Amino acid sequence: MVSGGTYGIEDIVHGAGYGRAILFLALTPILWSLPAAFMIGELSSALPHEGGYYAWVRRAMGNFWGFQEAWLSLVASIFDMAIYPTLFVLYLTRLFPWFAEGRRGIGVGLAIVGVCVLLNIAGVRVVSTTSLWLFFLLSAPFALMVVLSPVKYGALLHAATTPTTSKVDLIGGLLIAMWNYMGWDNASTIATEVERPQRTYPRAMLAAVALVTLTYIIPVAAVWMTGLPAASWETGSWADIAGLLGGPLLRIGLVLGGMISAFGMFNALVMSYSRLPLAMAQDGMLPRVFGKIHPKTRAPWVAIVVCAIGWAMCLGLGFERLVTIDILLYGTSLALEFVALVVLRVREPELPRAFRVPGGMFGAVAVGVTPILLLGFSVVRSESEQVLGMSSFAFGMLLIAAGVVAYAISVALKPSGWSIPAKPKAGTAA
């Protein structure tokens, strides 16, 4: 749910150069990912509820903020989920340029959405097993590139590459690094479907931060040794680099890996995001139809189908624009989660926590500082991006304000209020 391998980081090198790209890839997990992993490790072990971060915020700050957390996450998902079919098509066109013509790429994207919907209705275990094997499969070509790069030391300094169309600059490179390292809270929404969540989540989070960081940095550092100019990089360039290092077969392997990466990420995130409408329907915040589950697999099939329709609507917006809007909305929801961490420390100090953010109350507050500060870069960039004739920032603010309106409508339609989750008794696991 956090990383589909090394794919998607090419524009970081184009915008920042090799040295700063590696610096971004090394510092971003420390300043952005590790704080989120600590926060999620504590809250998911204390409150392993269906809906994850939505349930945490609602418990800490009430129905209004819980609704806003879910709204922000779902709206962000509309843009986030459109990124992966976009990446799939970008890699596919490296082999078959025919798919870049007309609306063919959008047709391919719609097909990906449909297949992943069917896989998710088949159940969580099918999705998780598929994702694990896809990760190993897509990582194999990068391992071979790392081995070949020292042999080609300095050999690609004057290599002929396809002219790039990327316009990513330094801030754009940082935002793409943030996007590649975000999504840690997505795994929390399926907590009730995970074995031993109090033990599993903290260990998985911390191990994943280290693993993802290495899979990003090592291949970039290896290609740096070849002398290939940073200006040659753009989304999809891994395929061309692989061809220069290992010939046409390795190039085909990288293209197929990029397609597998995009498919695997989309497939796993369908599982996460679809649990939000399910949990909200169970709490009475959405119509009961969203709570319908498949009789055999227990998958929330109505929520999956409705979410998929929203994701399909944003296909074709373009990679960088989707990333900018996604980070702006996702970052706002992440900030609410950090606030919930502190509020629950104050209001429920006796809540059993199998894992705690170190440093006491100071640590609980400090862990959210750097991620929130980094969000300032998304605000800066969103003012220059255009969506529907307005800046991405203005567009994002309209979407955030729409959450308040949606909450008011929900209250008007359901004046009796919603159920309040029962607090666990002291000394028992949540």
In tens, the pLDDT along 355-379 reads 888 889 999 999 999 988 888 877 7
8 Å CB contact between 300 and 308: no
- 412 pLDDT higher than 50: yes
| Phi, psi (degrees; rounded to nearest 5) at 75 | -65, -40
CA dist 277 and 73 (Å) reads 11
Q: Which neighbouring-strand residues pair with 386?
A: 391
Length of the chain: 430
Q: What number is the average pLDDT over the span 105-121?
A: 86
pLDDT recorded at residue 173? 76
8 Å CB contact between 91 and 286: no
Q: What number is the average pLDDT over the span 202-221?
A: 86
CA dist 266 and 85 (Å) reads 8
- Dump pLDDT digits (tens) for 295-315: 887 888 898 888 888 888 877
pLDDT recorded at residue 100? 78
Q: Is 15 exposed, middle or buried (0-12, 13-18, 19+ CB in 10 A)?
A: buried
- 164 pLDDT higher than 80: no
Percent of the chain with pLDDT over 70: 85
Q: What number is the average pLDDT over the span 132-154?
A: 84
